[in-house]
Structure 1
């Protein structure tokens, strides 16, 4: 069964162009989301995945209607492939039910992996360069050493609860417990 999926970004946009193309391609049913492509979970996309069966083919007017990034597209395509469901994009003429379409998909997947590897490599190089300049990563501590000493005193006195100490310093109980552990005697 051919099952169409369409998405428009805002309520003001109309899905007519996409739905007409899906009908012309022979789709028996279609699902339309009115949501940003940046959203990983979309109600109609989720509903479509619930009804897909092996042998079905998901059809979209254009690739960017389905995925928000190359990686997201690859993830969706791998999910479809795992379900035994084919994929067809009308504009890009990609069809994973054919050997050529599978090749194009594999090139897509390789490009997504390459992009992830480049990002990781650049991130690690940037962190290494920052460390070489003396920069230490992470957030700055909210509490100074005098604050930590005061927290230790209050905690040791037993006159106030950890919750009260946290409220006084505007931090979480977890921060108080970490401070206590860091400043423990012995």
Structure 2
């Protein structure tokens, strides 16, 4: 039997999403359609519970299977465990897969989806890119000697007259590190 799972609602951007016609065109004999974004997981569970071995699970795109890669992989594993095949409209016809091959098909779709970002994500409110804070700490490799010890390094070289190599050995660092500390204001 061909079991369809899709969405039919308006997204956060007020774009309509309706998979019913696509599922019918794929040959779905029974459809489970989400009409409210908050009910996606419950309807997906119902559809997955309806599957039997040798059934085909039809979806319009891989994003319908979950909000994260982990979610999608869990659905793919459940399909493989059930013995049902997966057909995704985004894939060329005849790309039906059974058992462990489901994971390969999902991986192909995920690769394609990651290459071309989609705007449909109705259940999770992600912060806009400009609102996300940029990293504020120093970039690159951390200092070999903590900043609070820089005063001690200067004191040993400038006041006590130790050589750069002696101070470097004392702190267990290279001479270049000591030169860099001394060059800083």
Relative to the length of structure 1, the TM-score reads: 0.47
TM-score (norm 2): 0.48
Greater percentage in helix: 1
